[in-house]
Amino acid sequence: MTTLFVRSSKCYCLVLSAILFLVSSSSKLLAQDGCPDRTFPVMKQKKVTVTIPGTDAIKGYLEALPTTYASQPSKRFPLMIFFHGINEGGDGSKEKLCLLVNQWWWAPPSLVELGKFPQATPDVKGQPTQFILISAQLAYFGDPSAAINPLINYLQTKYRIDPSRIYLTGLSAGANYIMTYAGANATNAKRIAAIAPVSPCMYLNDQQAKVIAASNLGFFTVQCGTDGACDGSTASKNEKLINAQRPTNKAVSITLPVPGWNCNSFTHDSWGTAYDTTFKTNVNGRSVNMYEYLLTNNRSGALPVVLKNFTANLNNGKVQLRWTTATELNNQQFIIERAGADQRFSKLAIIAANGNSSTEKLYEYTDENPLDNISYYRLVQVDFDGNQQQFEAKRIVNAKAGQSQVTVSSNPFTTELSVYVTVPETQQVTLSIVDMSGKQWARITDRVGAGTSEVSLPVSGLSRGVYLLKVSGSSISRTLKIVRN
């Protein structure tokens, strides 16, 4: 036994200050590395504060990697991204990230800390599979596409992710968030393999349901029928709306209580059940939990190349193409295709790719002899297995300097007509569409600047047939024959 003798009040104060300093320092370290106020003084997950290119909505997340991640350096793993409810948002700091975990809050990030997150989920072939779990913290609930797409881009550059198995899940406001993302457009819906909205409060609209159904996106949703925060039939109504489109991949909904599983005392909390590995339901003759259901879905045709940007610019009579990939896997080459106003594309060049890369790669190509007037440039990515992916085409107008001219985007046209007017100086220009008998069907007057300007004309009221497009201004007078298909 050691006895500490303090011989003076001054010495006593020094010792006490030292003790308080050590206690304070220990508390700060725990706050950084753990969440003691949430009963997790030492964290299993890594707190990541980050700047993600393209968004300020997500500034931090919790990272949980598979136990075999380091020992299998060539393997790619399925990715699960979790989105929290309305009260757990924050700036992504190490302190605020603690809002994502609670001893009583049985959602994926808490389950990791409690040792209850699955580490060996069988896939459709019965093979044990581990997820990369990223629990994102939102600084605000804005446009999901503007946050989730940059997040996925970033994660694919940082982790070894299987691009065919990317899953989104979320509870309450987070459930609404991922449904809005998936239903926004087919590009979003096809980028992921399945979503699992838990305790949703948002009704899908017809268009969102059509996008999800047409994309054959996996959809697994759970809710308590007596949900005290939202309509308890929200989940089942969303399932019915999707399945009314007759998708190949039918949506699945579970409304609690079901045999063996009651609603929780806080009825909005169905996540305590949904994320439990022992909670199962029958899907296509197979009893599965939520994690097993997710793994039954994959985008087998998903190409593992993330295109960060693609630009086309006309400089000194040449078209310069530049594009950047965020990540590449099994990427053999890019084919550059070009088309005139008729949008009939043909191969222009082949650019060798990097094969595999987890960092940004820049590509460039210059078309020394571009087409006159309107032309289109398109990238086609080809992997070593022969699979191809087309990216959105870029439009260029190559007008002769100092001359006045008129070009239409496509002729014949269908639902829209864009007219490119090139003039040497700023002026007011009038555009009109008349039929062959001289009857006017559309007219617009616009002030255009020197160079080439795009003017859109209303054509929804035009029936199929041949028309004349008339363009007049102080330095231009042109008449073109156009055809509505």
Residues 396 and 319 sit within 8 Å (Cβ to Cβ): yes
pLDDT score for 383: 83
pLDDT score for 360: 83
Classify burial at 214, counting beta carbons within 10 Å of its beta carbon; exposed 0-12, middle 13-18, buried 19 or more: middle
pLDDT score for 303: 58
Integer Cα distance of 214 and 248 in angstroms: 9
Residues 169 and 178 sit within 8 Å (Cβ to Cβ): yes
Among 29-43, 334-348, 400-414, name the one with the lowest average pLDDT.
Answer: 400-414
Q: What is the mean pLDDT of residues 63-92?
A: 95
Averaged pLDDT score across all residues of the chain = 88
Q: What is the mean pLDDT of residues 407-431?
A: 85
Q: What is the mean pLDDT of residues 452-459?
A: 83
Among 92-101, 171-180, 387-396, 431-440, name the one with the lowest average pLDDT.
Answer: 387-396
**Alpha carbon 316 to its chain's center:** 36
pLDDT score for 358: 67
Give which of 223, 201, 220 is closest to 267, Cα–Cα. 223
| Percent of the chain's residues with pLDDT above 70 | 92
Integer Cα distance of 215 and 414 in angstroms: 25
Integer Cα distance of 147 and 229 in angstroms: 26
- Specify the DSSP class assigned to residue 413: B
- Better-scored residue on pLDDT, 193 or 123: 193
Residues 85 and 135 sit within 8 Å (Cβ to Cβ): no
Task: Identify the three-state secondary structure at position 24.
Answer: helix
Residues 203 and 273 sit within 8 Å (Cβ to Cβ): no
**Given pLDDT bands bounded at 50, 70 and 90, which one contains residue 31?**
very low
Both tokens assigned to 18 = 């030292």
pLDDT at 167 over 80: yes
Integer Cα distance of 100 and 35 in angstroms: 10
Q: Kindly tell me the sign of the dihedral angle through the C-alpha atoms of 353, 354, 360, 363.
A: negative
Q: What is the mean pLDDT of residues 63-85?
A: 95
Pairing between β-strand 361-367 and β-strand 318-339 as defined by DSSP bridges: antiparallel
Among 17-26, 258-267, 304-313, name the one with the lowest average pLDDT.
Answer: 17-26
Both tokens assigned to 226 = 């007596």
pLDDT at 426 over 70: yes
Q: What is the mean pLDDT of residues 402-415?
A: 78
Residues 261-309 pLDDT 10s: 999 999 999 999 999 999 999 998 999 999 999 999 998 755 568 788 8
Give which of 185, 93, 208, 202 is closest to 139, Cα–Cα. 93
**Alpha carbon 118 to its chain's center:** 25
Integer Cα distance of 65 and 50 in angstroms: 17
Q: Which range in 5-9, 53-57, 288-292 is most confidently predicted, on average pLDDT?
A: 288-292
pLDDT at 253 over 70: yes
Task: Determine the residue type at 351.
Answer: I
pLDDT at 216 over 90: yes
- Better-scored residue on pLDDT, 194 or 307: 194
Give which of 185, 187, 189, 192 is closest to 164, Cα–Cα. 192
Integer Cα distance of 63 and 48 in angstroms: 7
Q: What is the mean pLDDT of residues 170-198?
A: 96
- Residues near 105 by beta carbon (within 8 Å), at least 6 away in sequence: none
Task: Determine the residue type at 444.
Answer: I
Among 5-14, 26-35, 161-170, 260-269, name the one with the lowest average pLDDT.
Answer: 5-14
Task: Determine the residue type at 332.
Answer: Q
Region of 77 on the Ramachandran plot (φ > 0 left; ψ -120 to 50 alpha; else beta): beta
Q: What is the mean pLDDT of residues 241-248?
A: 96
pLDDT at 8 over 70: no
Give which of 94, 107, 106 is closest to 43, Cα–Cα. 94
pLDDT at 344 over 60: yes
Q: Domains of the chain, with CATH numbers?
A: 32-295 (3.40.50.1820), 306-398 (2.60.40.10), 405-484 (2.60.40.2550)
pLDDT at 11 over 80: no
| Percent of the chain's residues with pLDDT above 90 | 63
Among 149-153, 202-206, 315-319, 432-436, name the one with the lowest average pLDDT.
Answer: 315-319
Containing 334, the helix (H) or strand (E) segment is strand 318-339
